[in-house]
C-alpha cells in the first residue's frame, strides 16, 4: 500500500491527474495501460497511443512514462558508399602467362569490304599452317602503307570471331590515350622473330613462363578482360604489366610516342 501511495504522489508531482490511479489494478509483476489524460502542466500532451508501465520487479515499484507526441528531428549523416572492390592483383598476375602473346609480321593489309573502320590483315605468327587472318579497327589511326610490313604484337589465343563476314583469328595489340583518339601499334624491338612468344619481366621470368591456355579457357575465365586493365605504357613508351616490361629476346616492346597509355 505504501508503494502505491508513493507512486500516486510521484505521478501527481509530475502533473498527471491522480484519477488515473483509481483505475489501476493492484501492483503486479507488470501491467500496461493506455494513457487517457493530458498533462496539467504546459508540457506537450502525451500521444494517444502512449502507454504507462507499472513494474514491481525485485520489490521496487516504478512508473515509466511514455514519450510526448512531439518529435525531434535528427539529421543523420548519409551512409557512405561502399568502397570499390580491390583488384586481386595476385590472382590476375598468376593468369598472365596463360595469354599467348606473340611476335607477328603483317604481310598484307586491305580495307574490309563491309566495314569502313576495319583492316583485314594477313599476319605471320610463325605457324606451319601459314599466316593468320586478323581484323583490326585501325583505319582511323594507321595507314595501310605503314601497317603492311610492320612487326607487331599479336594476342594469339583468343577465340576466332566473325567480323562482318571475315573470320578474325587473333588481335593486334596497340597503345591508346584515355580518350582513344590516338592509337599506335605496339612494336617489338629490331631482330624479333615472328612466332616468338612474348613474356613480362626479366630473363628469369621467361624461364618459368607457363604454357598458354586454350582459346576456350581464355574466353570462359575472361582472362584477357582481367589482365587488360593493368596493361599500360610508361613514360619511356614501354609496354608493361604493373612494373613488369613486355619483352622478347632482343629487348622491350614499345609504342612510338604514347606515354601513360592503355594497351588493348
In the prediction, which pLDDT does 50 show?
A: 43
The span from the CA of 250 to the CA of 196, in Å, is 11
The span from the CA of 107 to the CA of 157, in Å, is 20
In the prediction, which pLDDT does 195 show?
A: 98
Q: Note whether 172 and 118 are within 8 A (CB).
A: no
Q: How many other C-beta atoms lie within 10 A of the C-beta of residue 77?
A: 5
153-to-2, 5, 205 alpha-carbon distances in Å: 96, 95, 19
In the prediction, which pLDDT does 129 show?
A: 96
The span from the CA of 33 to the CA of 19, in Å, is 14
Residue with cell 505504501: 2
Residue with cell 590515350: 177
The C-alpha cell at 111 is 580495307
90-263 has which CATH code?
2.40.50.140
In the prediction, which pLDDT does 93 show?
A: 86
In the prediction, which pLDDT does 21 show?
A: 44
The span from the CA of 188 to the CA of 203, in Å, is 16
Per-domain residue ranges of the chain: 2-64, 90-263
| Tens place of pLDDT per residue across the chain (264 aa) | 555 455 455 545 545 444 444 444 554 444 444 444 444 444 444 444 444 444 444 444 444 444 444 555 555 666 666 665 554 445 788 899 999 999 999 999 999 999 999 999 999 999 999 999 999 999 999 999 999 999 999 999 999 999 999 999 999 999 999 999 999 999 999 999 999 999 999 989 999 999 999 999 999 999 999 999 999 999 999 999 999 999 999 999 999 999 999 999
Residues forming a β-bridge with 239:
233
The span from the CA of 253 to the CA of 240, in Å, is 9
Give kind and range of the element (H or E) at residue 232: strand 231-233
Amino acid at each position: 500500500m505504501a508503494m502505491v501511495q508513493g507512486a500516486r504522489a510521484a505521478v501527481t508531482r509530475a502533473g498527471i491527474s491522480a484519477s488515473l490511479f483509481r483505475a489501476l489494478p493492484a501492483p503486479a509483476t507488470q501491467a500496461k495501460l493506455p494513457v487517457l489524460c493530458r498533462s496539467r502542466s504546459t508540457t506537450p500532451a502525451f500521444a494517444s497511443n502512449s502507454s504507462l508501465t507499472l513494474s514491481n520487479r525485485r520489490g521496487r515499484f516504478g512508473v515509466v512514462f511514455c514519450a510526448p507526441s512531439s518529435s525531434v528531428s535528427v539529421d543523420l549523416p548519409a551512409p557512405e558508399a561502399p568502397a570499390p572492390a580491390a583488384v586481386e592483383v595476385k590472382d590476375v598476375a598468376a593468369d598472365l602467362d596463360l595469354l599467348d602473346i606473340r611476335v607477328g609480321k603483317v604481310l598484307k593489309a586491305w580495307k574490309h569490304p563491309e566495314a569502313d573502320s576495319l583492316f583485314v590483315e594477313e599476319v605471320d605468327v610463325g605457324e606451319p599452317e601459314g599466316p593468320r587472318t586478323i581484323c583490326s579497327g585501325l583505319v582511323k589511326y594507321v595507314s595501310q602503307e605503314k601497317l603492311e610490313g610492320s612487326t607487331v604484337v599479336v594476342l594469339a589465343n583468343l577465340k576466332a570471331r566473325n567480323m562482318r563476314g571475315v573470320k578474325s583469328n587473333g588481335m593486334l595489340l596497340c597503345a591508346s590515350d584515355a580518350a582513344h583518339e590516338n592509337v599506335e601499334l605496339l612494336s617489338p624491338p629490331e631482330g624479333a622473330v615472328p612466332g616468338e612468344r612474348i613474356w613480362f619481366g626479366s630473363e628469369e621470368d621467361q624461364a618459368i613462363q607457363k604454357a598458354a591456355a586454350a582459346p576456350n579457357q581464355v574466353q570462359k575465365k575472361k582472362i584477357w578482360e582481367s589482365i587488360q586493365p593493368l596493361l599500360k605504357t610508361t613514360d619511356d613508351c614501354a609496354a608493361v604489366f604493373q612494373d613488369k616490361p613486355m619483352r622478347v629476346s632482343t629487348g622491350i616492346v614499345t609504342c612510338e610516342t604514347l606515354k601513360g597509355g592503355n594497351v588493348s
